[in-house]
Amino acid sequence: MNFGFTVLDTSLVVIGERVMLGPNVHIYSAGHDTSVLSRVKCIEFGHPVRIEDDCWIGGNVTILAGVTIGRGCTVGAGSVVSRSLPPFSVALGSPAKVIKRLPTLEEELADPRNIYHRFPDRS
């Protein structure tokens, strides 16, 4: 976790293994209807949020209710994630949109040119 990390959790929030979070990341599993009466009656809903393994969430990112961020994703700083992201993708913006596909771990391990083969395994 990093400083300024906020989770508003009226529903399940799952953060996978080896997930990196920048500063001021906000996860909101709660929401409200646009109806004034729903606010008068204090009605709140919740949908699960999942961040799968090996993701990197940049600083000042907001993740909204019902979103799954697939394994190995990178989310650019300042993004608002309002829809689920497929595994091994890069997304950014408000709302966040996928701009690039990333290689899977298996693809990286199979690539002899990958510079990270030189580093020891820390897991």
Catalytic residues: 32
Q: Are 88 and 103 spatial neighbours (Cβ–Cβ below 8 Å)?
A: yes
Q: Are 63 and 28 spatial neighbours (Cβ–Cβ below 8 Å)?
A: yes
The residues near 31 (Cβ < 8 Å, ≥ 6 apart) are 44, 45, 46, 47, 64, 65
Q: Are 110 and 94 spatial neighbours (Cβ–Cβ below 8 Å)?
A: no
Tell me phi and psi for residue 43, to 5 degrees: -85, 130
